[in-house]
Structure 1
Amino acid sequence: MIVAEERTAARICAGVDWAKDDHAVCIVGDDGEALQRFMINDNRAGLKDMVRRLLDAAVQEVGIERPDGTVVQALLAAGLTVLVIPPAQVKGLRSRYGSAGNKDDRFDAYVLADVVRTDRRRLRPLQQDTAATTALRTTVRARRDLVVHRVAAANQLRAHLQIVFPAAATLFAAIDSDISLLFLAKFTTQEQADRLSVTALAAWLASVSYSGGTDPAVLYAKIVKAPRGTTEAAAAAHAVTTGVFIAVLRTLNTQIRVLADAIGAQLDAHPDKQILTSLPRSGCVRAARMLAENGDARGRFPTADSLACLAGVAPSTRQSGKVKAVTFRFGADKKLRDAICDFAGDSRMANPWAADLYAKAIGRGHDHPHAVRILGRAWIHIIWRCWQDHTAYDPANHGALQRVLNQDQETAA
């Protein structure tokens, strides 16, 4: 007797197109037919209504374009599986359903839902980092943003001084340093700097505990040799602008230090601290940045290559017919790439293996950024292994490093 196969339950999927004020939701059935389409407001009542309707429709998996935010938190809290489909992929998928390719929130919600239905095997469920890592990421990125603002403000101040007070623009190594800002606050115009002598400058530097190491006579010579700036009535007007930039940079410096202290405290309390801080020249902020951008959801990266691809340090291969090109990977997490490359580029100053790998890349004709990415990819395999094993980096167990050290000893002998 032939027994009919038991019919499996229909698979109901949903897609949510996220927006600022409201979100489009689409629920599709097992055959791809849209069962429900609706809009919800971005507030507590709207999110609650969305979750209720999804659960009532027996939805278990939801596609969305971003991995964070209140919508994602509501879906995860309801026990739904969230599958992230990046906006660039959604843009390419629109042509699967129509030739126009126009952006429409309701249509994109359907695309997200149907892709979950048809391409589930290609999608990986969202795994969120711990609350400690998420908080650290917020702090690290806030500090990074303030540093960018500081660079912009410092460039504006430097451009201003090059016109009205050239001697102060290059007197000290960094225009946004504390000593440079103290000098500008004390000597705001060219006429005030004209009253200085070597003795007076030395006395002032001592009064502000200058520790730069440059002889006062050298600094005074810079002031004397520099082109003269604006004097008389116009100088006072320009001094107001200088004062504004000084205030902005002082505030930024203070708040950057506050965030740096917060990063140090958060990093000390994080269970993965020993992994990142054990790397050469990782420091506190740099280690925290790599940890924050990499995250601690280890299931997101089943292999080191998957992490290298997301970080953009692995090349992208394009091949068509007889033409094959290995090019820069544009589709990557730029913040993670910046964090990895920042560490890799500096690691060569303290690690002979890293220095040797970088030198070989330069010797093959690669420029500095490319060589740093090559080094970053090599470091990622080490970081990933330490990260998966919950162990700190130990130079004694780094075989490639030991081979370089042994070669150096043989050469010296």
Structure 2
Amino acid sequence: MITCGIDWAEDHHDIALMDDSGFIIERRRITHDPNGFAELLAMVADHGGTADDVPIAIETDKNLLVVALAGAGFTVYPINPRAVARYRERHGQAGNKSDSRDAAVLADIVRTDRHQHRRLPANSEQQQAIKALARQHQEAIWAQNQTISRLRSVLLEFYPQALQAFPKLKHRAAMEVLSIAPTPTDAAKLTRPRISNALKRVGRRNDPALVTQIHSDLHAPGLRQPDAVEVALGHTVASLVAIIVAMLDAVAVLERELVTAFAEHPQADIIDSVPGLGGVLGARILAEIGDDPTRFSSPTGLRSFAGTAPVTIASGRSHYVKARKVRNRRLADACHWWAFAALTWSAPAREYYDHRRAVGDHHNAALRALANKLLGRLWWCLQHDQSWDDTAAWPRAATPAAA
């Protein structure tokens, strides 16, 4: 048997081929292009290997090389870099490190401990497209929130009246008014009709009380920066407002495409039937767990992957249980909000949450325990191609008496 380890980089990759006795039969560095990939295939073929019987270990699961390897039929094992660092210590204690050495370590991992690692899941192209959209949608929201925080910080320096008028800067009404009044001087010239017209442009209803409140807040007296500084900060506000408006439009486009792609997936009806899951949150759940039915052989694996399953630390006389830190953070975040939404949409879920709170769990711990339950039931629904049934999902109400 031949195993292959690949230490990847942006423009080249180090390859190590190892036989079943642990001997390195060939090392080579290839380029990150079709010619380099063809060279890798030739290396494997020269030693009598094929895509069906040569497992490959690499420290990533989202590289173009990984896509090419999976498309060629290889079984790819994405290995966590933290795990590779521990395996490296098994090969030597001096602390030396090189790309070719890491490739050999990766090849040795799939030679000796392949059963301890998960292969790259065989997800459909449709699911991979949903994953790309879901992750970029979330990244865009994070970037948008970061830019809004920058705008808030700038406004605190010279224009607190704007924050008084618009506590939530994410609203398009705030962006529209700040675009025509980026400084306190400009705000002092704003009239009620101009504010009303600005609100109409972003679709806000005709609300004279709201217009009066915004006008009053923006005209409130306050401390002022020197004129030159105020003008400079006004340019900054105008630039940030333009960036945020573009981000809001981009997030809306990504969300629309995400919901559309999710609705076309075969498992969308099952996930959409779950209390607390809609288009966006359901798409994020599907994006992270995938649609490969063999990826998680039991709900325990899925719960550990999401980080909802607790970790037990038992050594000597000490024994305690804590939250799992090593997890898929995107899936953990989606499960947190799923459990929070389920409190409204599912009475048994709310009852279970209240029970966890009654026995001493704080809010996040109770939501994590609820998400742990929900994930197990979702796993069953996906495995058996069944829609969610709240009565079957919660056969026993989690009341203190039942507990």
Structure 2 CA distance for partners of 1:117 and 1:228, relative to 1, 3 Å: same
Say which of 22, 26, 29 aligns to 1:39: 29
Q: For residues 56 and 389 of structure 1, what CA distance do their matches in structure 2 show?
A: 44
Say which of 228, 242, 246 aligns to 1:251: 246
The one-letter amino acid of 1:130's match is S
Say which of 97, 107, 110 aligns to 1:113: 107
Larger deviation, residues 209-218 vs 364-373: 209-218
Q: For residues 155 and 389 of structure 2, what CA distance do their matches in structure 1 show?
A: 48
Q: Contact 1:51/1:75 (CA < 8 Å) preserved in 2?
A: no
Say which of 67, 70, 77 aligns to 1:76: 70
Q: For residues 279 and 344 of structure 2, what CA distance do their matches in structure 1 show?
A: 17
Cα shift at 1:229: 4.5
Q: For residues 182 and 9 of structure 2, what CA distance do their matches in structure 1 show?
A: 49
The one-letter amino acid of 2:106's match is L
Q: How does 1:127-138 map to 2 (within 5 A)?
A: 127-138=121-132
Q: For residues 241 and 314 of structure 2, what CA distance do their matches in structure 1 show?
A: 54
Say whether 1:355 aligns with 2:345.
Answer: no
Say whether 1:191 aligns with 2:185.
Answer: yes
- SS of 1:27's equivalent in the other structure is strand
Partner of 2:151: 157
Cα shift at 1:55: 2.4
Structure 2 CA distance for partners of 1:341 and 1:149, relative to 1, 3 Å: same
Partner of 1:383: 378
- SS of 2:265's equivalent in the other structure is coil
Cα shift at 1:296: 0.6
Partner of 2:138: 144
Say which of 98, 104, 115 aligns to 2:92: 98
Say whether 1:55 aligns with 2:49.
Answer: no
Structure 2 CA distance for partners of 1:181 and 1:200, relative to 1, 3 Å: closer
Q: Contact 1:51/1:74 (CA < 8 Å) preserved in 2?
A: no
Say whether 1:306 aligns with 2:301.
Answer: yes
Structure 2 CA distance for partners of 1:163 and 1:344, relative to 1, 3 Å: same
- SS of 2:9's equivalent in the other structure is coil
Q: Contact 1:189/1:231 (CA < 8 Å) preserved in 2?
A: no
Larger deviation, residues 116-125 vs 327-336: 116-125
Percent identical across equivalent pairs? Answer: 27
Q: For residues 386 and 226 of structure 2, what CA distance do their matches in structure 1 show?
A: 62
1:57-113: CA deviations, max 9, x gaps? 133222222223232233333333222322111111112211124332211211121
Say whether 1:17 aligns with 2:11.
Answer: no
Partner of 1:8: none
Q: For residues 211 and 283 of structure 1, what CA distance do their matches in structure 2 show?
A: 27
Q: For residues 346 and 367 of structure 2, what CA distance do their matches in structure 1 show?
A: 14
Larger deviation, residues 41-50 vs 24-33: 24-33
Cα shift at 1:151: 0.6
Normalising by structure 2, we get a TM-score of: 0.90
Larger deviation, residues 234-243 vs 383-392: 234-243
Root-mean-square deviation (Å): 2.5
Count of residues in correspondence between the two structures? 395
- SS of 2:165's equivalent in the other structure is coil
Say which of 251, 265, 271 aligns to 2:266: 271
Q: For residues 387 and 41 of structure 1, what CA distance do their matches in structure 2 show?
A: 41
Give unmatched runs, 5+ long, in structure 1: 1-10, 408-413
1:121-160: CA deviations, max 9, x gaps? 3334332211111111111111111111111111111111
- SS of 2:28's equivalent in the other structure is strand
Cα shift at 1:222: 3.6
The one-letter amino acid of 1:290's match is I
Structure 2 CA distance for partners of 1:212 and 1:248, relative to 1, 3 Å: farther
Structure with bigger gyration radius: 1
Q: For residues 232 and 372 of structure 2, what CA distance do their matches in structure 1 show?
A: 53
